[in-house]
Structures are given as structure tokens and as C-alpha cells.
Amino acid sequence: MNQIALTEREKQLLTHYQRGFPRTSRPFRTIARELSCSEDDVLNSFRRLQEAGVISRLGPVFNHRKAGTSTLAAISVPDRELENVAALINSYPEVNHNYQREHTFNLWFVITAPDVSLLDEVIQDIEKKTGHPVLRLPMVKPYHIDLGFKPDFD
């Protein structure tokens, strides 16, 4: 976690809303009511945490098999092209995260689509636009990874 002084509200947000995030049409309003503050206060707190690098994203983790289909993918890109290829890959709404690794396949990403035909279409488009083949690494066996953490605010 980056070294910034957290407010009590930010500590509550980090502690209490990793799991059980309200599934309502206005989740930030629901949180605001629970914390006795305004919806804007909650939104501003989350923005500050993200801008400071304390959190990287705020969003759900889906069971991809219920949402459609997905695959882990990797591509080998020369260092001089890495930034541009990463930006291109990130521009696809089907890509939900993308990260660099120290490996021959140095750019890894997950693609989720409602069906296999769209998944194939996105991968083929990436290959066409980058000029590099995409290695597909579909999940063989699902594992639940709990992404929550117990913050240490000391």
C-alpha cells in the first residue's frame, strides 16, 4: 500500500467493502448511508485511494463461466512495441486486465466474452493489429482465489 495518511472513512471502505459490496442501483449511496456520510464523500474517498495507488480498481469479480467464456492469453512483444501493444490490448472492452511479465511471453491478459465466436474474433483482431500470435491458455480447472486482504493501518 502506498504511504499516505488514510482517513477513518477510507479505512472503513478498505476494511468493510472488499466483500459484500452492495448490489443495488446506487451502491455508493448505500455505503454512504451505512457510514453516515454523503454519496459524494464515498466517491471522493474511492477516487483518492485510486489516485494515490492504494487501490488499482474497483469492480466485481465475475464467475466467467456464468458470464460467457474467457481465456488467459499471452503475447511475445519486442520491448520497443510493448507500450503500444499494451494500450491496444487495453482498448478492448473484453480485456479485463493486462500485465507485463518477465518471460518470452511478456504481456499477459484475460479476455472475457459472451461466446467463443466473439472471443476468437477479439484474439484474431489483436493478432492482426499487432502482427504477433496470441497464446491461448484456457482454464482447465477453476480455483477460487480470495482477493481480499486484512489491511494493516499501523
Domain assignment of residue 153, yes or no: no
Supply the range of the domain harboring residue 21. Answer: 8-51
Position 152 scores a pLDDT of 75
Residue 125: which CATH number?
Answer: 3.30.70.3460
Same domain as 100, residue 70: yes
Same domain as 31, residue 74: no
Q: How many domains does the chain have?
A: 2
Domain assignment of residue 152, yes or no: no
Mean pLDDT, to the nearest integer, of 131-137?
97
| Of 70, 73, 77, nearest in space to 136 by CA | 73
Same domain as 81, residue 121: yes
| Of 76, 140, 70, 152, nearest in space to 108 by CA | 76
Same domain as 120, residue 92: yes
In sequence order, what are the residues at sequence separation of 6 or more whose Cβ sits closer than 8 angstroms to the Cβ of residue 106?
A: 75, 76, 77, 79, 82, 100
Q: What is the pTM of this model?
A: 0.61
Domain assignment of residue 70, yes or no: yes
Domain assignment of residue 58, yes or no: no
Domain assignment of residue 143, yes or no: no
Paired residues of 110 in beta bridges: 72, 97
What is the per-residue pLDDT across 52-106, written as a single tens digit (0 to 9) for each? 888 877 877 666 677 788 999 999 999 999 999 999 999 999 998 889 999 999 9
Position 62 scores a pLDDT of 67
Q: Judge whether 85 and 130 are in contact, CB under 8 Å.
A: yes
Domain assignment of residue 132, yes or no: yes
Domain assignment of residue 44, yes or no: yes
Domain assignment of residue 94, yes or no: yes
pLDDT of residue 2 exceeding 50: no
